[in-house]
Amino acid sequence: MLESWELLQTVLAESVVKLAVSLLCGVLLGMERELKGKPAGLRTIALITVGATIFMIVSDLIALVTEGPTSITRVDPSRIASQVVTGIGFLGAGAIIQARGAIHGLTTAATIWVAASIGLCVGVGFPLLGIAVTVLVLLVLIALIPVRAWLSRRGDEETLTLVLPNDALALRRVKNILRQNGVPDRGIALEPEKDGNLTIKLTYRSHAGQQRLLEELSSVEGVHGEVVSS
pLDDT by residue (tens digit) across 57-66?
Answer: 888 887 777 6
Instruction: Single out the residue in 116, 143, 170 at which a domain terminates.
Output: 143
130/158 same-domain check: no
Q: How many domains does the chain divide into?
A: 2
pLDDT tens digit string along 103-134?
567 888 889 999 999 999 999 899 999 999 99
Which residues have CB under 8 Å from 154's CB, separation 6+? Answer: 205, 207
Domain residue limits at 94: 5-143
The C-alpha atoms of residue 123 and residue 60 are separated, in whole angstroms, by 9
Indicate the range of 41-45, 154-158, 213-217 predicted with least confidence: 154-158
Is the per-residue pLDDT at 3 higher than 80? no
- 160 and 71 in a single domain? The answer is no
Per residue in 8-39, pLDDT tens? 777 888 999 999 999 999 999 999 888 887 77
The CATH number for 220's domain is 3.30.70.1150
pLDDT of residue 47 exceeding 90 = yes
pLDDT band (50, 70, 90) for residue 6 = confident
The pLDDT assigned to 77 comes to 66
Q: Please tell me whether residues 71 and 99 are part of one structural domain.
A: yes
Helix (H, G, I), strand (E, B) or coil at 194: coil
How many other CB atoms are there within 10 angstroms of residue 221's CB atom? 12
